[in-house]
Amino acid sequence: MVWVFYKILNKSYKLCLAIAIAFSIGSVVTFGFIYDYKEANFFTSVFSTISFIALSLVTYFQLLQKPGKRLLLQPVFWIATSFFIYYSLLLLRNVFDSYLIFELNISSEAYTAINIINLFANITKNFILFYALVLIDKGYPDTLKPTGAT
Amino acid sequence: MIEIIVNIVVYGTGLIFGGVLWFLIAFSRAYASKK
């Protein structure tokens, strides 16, 4: 998914590359030395959440630097919005998830509210991404339409 | 303890979602005024 932002953000490819490299090294180190393979990895979930929120904020900032057409017709805005909403909704869940499951042994009934948040976040993200795909297929951004597409 | 943390997650997520909506509305207004 960093690749998506790599395609969206024209100038900040170094930021995307740095996040991808840091995520790879950090996940290998945490999986290898800190966490058991049966545990949920705290580092990967929280790092990816924070980095995607930061990347969508950078996208908003770049959009504000060069205001072009109408905002609601730009798929870049919708893609960034979908990731922004999804990872903002899952931020607290990801922070407390491994503690709730592996330390407190939460029951599935008590976990229902968090599951509903998870479902809501997934559905919202997928609908907004689908709308962005529809806009791309309509040909609204000239840059994002695949060259081979008719 | 479990209930406290579940409440923190649920209500905190609600607050964050409200903040996200407020941010998006403010961003769209700023974009429209810059255009």
Structure confidence by residue, pLDDT tens digits, A30-63: 877 777 766 667 788 888 899 999 989 988 988 8
* More confident call, A114 vs A143: A114
Is it the case that residue A142 has pLDDT exceeding 90?
A: no
Maximum mean pLDDT: which of A20-24, A59-63, A71-75, A87-91: A87-91
pLDDT class for A138, splitting at 50, 70, 90? confident
Tokens encoding A77: 């805005």
pLDDT tens by residue, B1-35: 888 989 999 999 999 999 999 999 999 999 888 86
A62-86: buried (b, 16+ CB within 10 Å) or exposed (e) per residue? bbeeeeeeebeebbbbbbbbbbbbb
Distance of CA B29 to the CA centre of its chain: 17
What percent of chain A is modeled with pLDDT above 90? 24
What ipTM, to 2 d.p.?
Answer: 0.91
Q: Pick the residue of B20, B21, B28 with the most A CBs within 10 A to test the interface with A by mutation.
A: B20
Work out the pLDDT band at A1, boundaries 50, 70, 90: low
Instruction: Indicate the SS3 state at residue A40.
Output: coil
Q: What is the mean pLDDT of residues A14-36?
A: 82
Of A81, A93, A114, the CB nearest to B24: A81
pLDDT at A116: 93
- pLDDT band of residue A74 (cuts 50, 70, 90) is confident
**pLDDT averaged over every residue in chain A:** 83
- Nearest CB neighbour to A60, from listed B3, B5, B27: B27
More confident residue, A139 or A135: A135
Closest-CA distance, A88 to chain B, in angstroms, reads 7
C-alpha B29/C-alpha A29 separation (Å) is 43
Per CB-CB distance under 8 Å, the chain A contacts of B5 are 96, 99-100, 104
The closest alpha carbon to B10, from A47, A100, A57, belongs to: A100
Query: Could you tell me if B4 lies within 8 Å of chain A, comparing CB atoms?
Result: no
Answer yes or no: do B5 and A63 touch at CB < 8 A: no
Averaged pLDDT, A127-131: 93
Q: What is the pLDDT of residue A91?
A: 92
Nearest CA in chain A to B21: A85
The chain B residue lying nearest A115, using CA atoms, is B10
